[in-house]
Structure 1
């Protein structure tokens, strides 16, 4: 499973979410951080929305992958709460591997 976090430098909400995602121990996933300042299309799409989190259901290129949006968690959410929220979006086959 791959999670994609659209972020930008010096965004405290982005950094906080990234730190919590990196502390999750009971789910196995690859976390890719995409800096929206490196591409105009990302910046235009997410400049007022970051942090934005997606589940990638396809291991294609950035332009062909299928992204499922994941609602932004509260900045106050704990690592455990974030993990529980992510479980709602993980396909059943991957849930079995996480348990």
Structure 2
């Protein structure tokens, strides 16, 4: 992810915001660092792993602040968009079988 972040649904998402939300989802800081700060910026499997983590985010914690929930929903929307782009593109190209989709 670009250090400057990106806008999703009117919310500016930065790597720091993604990191905090993934921690709440139970992902270790070591895993988060590997996903957000790859040594090889062309590492497609790592990018896929990050997108998969985002598209599998559960609902936001019940006691979260409205701002936290807004960011969480933005990450879910981005993750779901990525899921549709990645999985549909792979199915059409015949690159992977449906048994590999999560």
What is the TM-score when the length of structure 1 is the normalising length? 0.29
> Considering only CA atoms, is the larger Rg found in Structure 1 or Structure 2?
2
Write 1 or 2 for the structure with the bigger share of helix: 2
Write 1 or 2 for the structure with the bigger share of strand: 1
